[in-house]
Structure 1
Amino acid sequence: AFDQHLNMILGDVEETITTIEIDEETFEQIYRPTKRHIPMLFVRGDGVILISPLAKQS
């Protein structure tokens, strides 16, 4: 659901945060994704930048 300010209530949300660390010996970037499930999430409209439908999966 959303309103005229684009405040949204989202259900069954999966949040993914990717942190990047640098290996001090090899100077390689190490990507570490962290995921969490959120049953219901309120997103304030002024934090919304882009809304896009999910890509079709085959």
Structure 2
Amino acid sequence: MARDRLDTLAALRVAAERGGFTKAAAELGLTQSALSHAIRRGKADIGRRLLSRTTR
């Protein structure tokens, strides 16, 4: 469980640094969908919103 949380937080960091899930997923070697699912699981595990999304 702790490792999953660290992975989720690392993915969030990359997404924030790159400005979006698509670029972060490419850097992490994931699809955008896989990254979104990982973030969603992390949110469920932690029980709080992890990101505030905006539209362009």
| TM-score band w.r.t. shorter chain | under 0.3
Task: Choose 1 or 2 for highest CA Rg.
Answer: 1
* More strand per residue: 1
* More helix per residue: 2
TM-score (norm 1): 0.20
Greater length-normalized contact order (CA 8 Å, ≥ 6 residues apart): 1
TM-score (norm 2): 0.20
